[in-house]
Amino acid sequence: MPLHWTVDSKERLVIATAEGVVTRAEVENYLEVMAGAGSLSYRKLFDCSRGDTAMTAEDMLAIGVNIRTRHAAAGTLGPLAIVVPPEQSELVSRVLGILATADRPMRIFSDAEPARRWIESLPK
């Protein structure tokens, strides 16, 4: 499975890493698990620097709608650091736009290490 994650409840931190081709079903599964784990208020690092996708624009839009629906029901959302290589930024721009509407700290990075430092510097 190209999408891996760790939920650290003690640190209130979720780290997700994409490696290889990620599908819509895998992203939707990740979102379901995060909601079920009660981790939407945790700090999150989503590293797509080694990932790719064959998702269509419709798939990306559906994921965006899924995220927005969860945001509306979640209440408080934790800070989010996303690592996206420049060549993928156009593909994920709609989803990034939806993520950016949430009331929480969010930054987009092109390298994982600055993203990790930033997310770990924020309060638990």
pLDDT at position 57 is 81
Judge contact between 54 and 25, C-beta under 8 A: no
* CATH code for the domain in which residue 85 is found: 3.30.750.24
Per-residue pLDDT tens for 83-111? 988 777 666 666 777 777 778 899 989 99
pLDDT at position 114 is 97
- Separate counts of helices (H) and strands (E) for the chain: 4, 5
pLDDT at position 53 is 83
Q: Residue 63: helix, strand or coil by DSSP?
A: helix
Q: Phi, psi at residue 20, to the nearest 5°? A: 90, -160
pLDDT at position 87 is 75
Below-70 pLDDT ranges, the chain: 1, 89-94
pLDDT at position 94 is 66
Torsion of CA 67, 52, 121, 113, to 10 degrees: -170
Helical segments of 17-74, H only: 24-36, 57-74
Name residue 35's beta-bridge partners. Answer: none
Containing structural domain, residue 91? 3-121
How many domains, the chain?
Answer: 1
